[in-house]
Structure 1
């Protein structure tokens, strides 16, 4: 058995202009459909979310959801997955991410094993192409392009990428294709539904933003957070859910290092139900600080103002 070097091939190329708009969510016919559908999986969406998801589905455009950490950006992708039944392919962005982690890599260990095995074979053995697709390790971007089922591609915290890594996304978002020098150009036969999230820690390139529909997300209003708590915390009363939402809203107005996230609000509400709390007072709020706040200076600032009118009581 002999190994041979790679030769570029283009036979697997699929012309992108013939590709159907499979980024469409078949369940989505209007913004109201989105809001109602997400509610069935306990994601309380506002009209802006409904409109953006509807338009992204109709236009085949990615969504760029931007806002502070903990406002439900990643949860939106998970909720869309739960509602539509599409699996999520997630690319978690971080500093230093390169194409071997985002696009593809080669299974060097298997390649080496085949090279070593070839030394013990005669010349009549079949020739092995070390850069055959069987040695290819698809990473999230390529995996989403090669997927034969309908998927959601979640590119999480895209603002953590450097400019070079950000440019890796452009080919995918422009043509939904990836060029592998040894194999040719791989193009999607089914477009993924794409959601990018950003914590707004830096400005993204105009080229990337042009390819997306922009969805700014912020912390919910008291009413919406009350609805979120009611939908996700079994057994909580209307009154307690309202008090939880109002206390958290007050905390977010204190100029803290890190505001409580929606998930932390839900965790606190669950802890109150588990400990049979019926209504709020200063001691109960103080006991919830380790769940809601994760910086000592924030806990100290909030605790010192527990009797202030900015923290409502029942």
Structure 2
């Protein structure tokens, strides 16, 4: 498992279209990276029991098909899994490329460590081969290489959704309150946070999760915590208990529709198999009833390349 240094140490390409502008921040970084938070978050965020079921071949969520194609992969190269956690009636859909090093078991367990009120704002999860990198596009998150087993990277990418969907009542990285907190502090968390206010919010969210869940909090591991105290405290205040484990889901994002690939559409299914219930088209619709399904939003994209 690699830490935040390997993921956010370079001058990465990062963009959030239509919602936020990207501009280099002028405050210095408190540290070069947030690697020193990974062990605390990994060890103190509890896992949630889960069940994993694989879809029949020949079917894929449309977002996975489209985003995979954007990376040069054919939809037939993916395995699609339903991962149902004990704190939610509906599963999350994981689209795993057959060549990625991260197993579905590792990714599903790592994702379970995210508090359910953070997981709520993630649509589909993609696991892709290649150099360690990640992106977040309209609620979908993708993890390349080994990053599907890194809880801090999952927090960071999910935080873009919290920001982009205004999960806590506002788009944090453009809100007057967060910008005032930024002005009141002397630093940002690390070098990568200097990339833009959107990346600063995402990195401060990693800090906030650590502060809320690890004994001693952020001050216990960083003597100069006051240098960014206003920023991560602002996120904590807006999030309330959303950064803590426990509770149940209130899914805010619908899954994309199921695409039937040619291999499934042209398959001959015997009457015996149909009668026995051994064949069915996987359904991506949500079974539970949720109070705040978000359907209209400004499209956004973040891509971390390193």
TM-score, normalising length: structure 2: 0.23
Bigger helix fraction: 1
TM-score, normalising length: structure 1: 0.23
